[in-house]
Amino acid sequence: MTQVIYSMQFTGQIMPVEGTNNQRNVKAVAHSSRIDSLAGPGGIKGSVQPVEGEDSTMESVVILTGNGRFQEHGSIAFGDSGNTLRFTTIGEGHISSSPEPSVNHGSVIWRVEGGEGQFEGAAGLITSNFTISTTGDVTDHQFGVIYTG
């Protein structure tokens, strides 16, 4: 098997699912980028820099289970060539308030459940560390380690 790693910053929206009180839809896009982390005498600095390449899209359904916990399932399409993976939550994700009053902060671990194209038969894990604003804006920092082929 081949190990594929990625780190991307997705931005988008979370919206209520009509007719439910505990489900939300997330749609987000990540532009091809390079994420830099630089440690030095002043501490750590990080940045996201755009690079040539296609956009990736994520769509998911979030099911709120109470007390700041949730489960999620969805897919991520990397570019426009049919390379899509499917994921589900391991256990439950967590969300709570953050030091910034208008933003909630959370994290979740997803299990890769296969996919299409490059991800047919794939397995692996993705960590998501995200924020959600009071207006529904989502910023999701993902790191994936996926096994293909």
- For the chain, list the domains and their CATH numbers: 2-148 (2.40.480)
List the one residue out of 111, 116, 115, 114 whose CA is nearest residue 128.
111
pLDDT of residue 37: 95
**Count of Cβ atoms closer than 10 Å to residue 149 Cβ:** 11
Three-state SS string across the chain, please? CEEEEEEEEEEEEEEECCCCCCEEEEEEEECCEEEEEEEECCEEEEEEEECCCCCEEEEEEEEEEECCEEEEEEEEEECCCCCEEEEEECCCEEEEECCCCCEEEEEEEEEEEEEEHHHCCCEEEEEEEEEEECCCEEEEEEEEEEEEC
Is 90 exceeded by the pLDDT of residue 120?
yes
pLDDT tens digit string along 14-57? 999 999 999 999 999 999 999 999 999 999 999 999 999 999 99
The pLDDT tens digits of the residues spanning 45-101 come to: 999 999 999 999 999 999 999 999 999 999 999 999 999 999 999 999 999 999 999
Looking at residue 92, what is its pLDDT?
Answer: 98
Close Cβ partners of 115 (under 8 Å, ≥ 6 residues apart): 75, 83, 84, 85, 86, 122
Flag whether pLDDT at 149 surpasses 90.
no
Contact 127, 112 (CB under 8 A): no
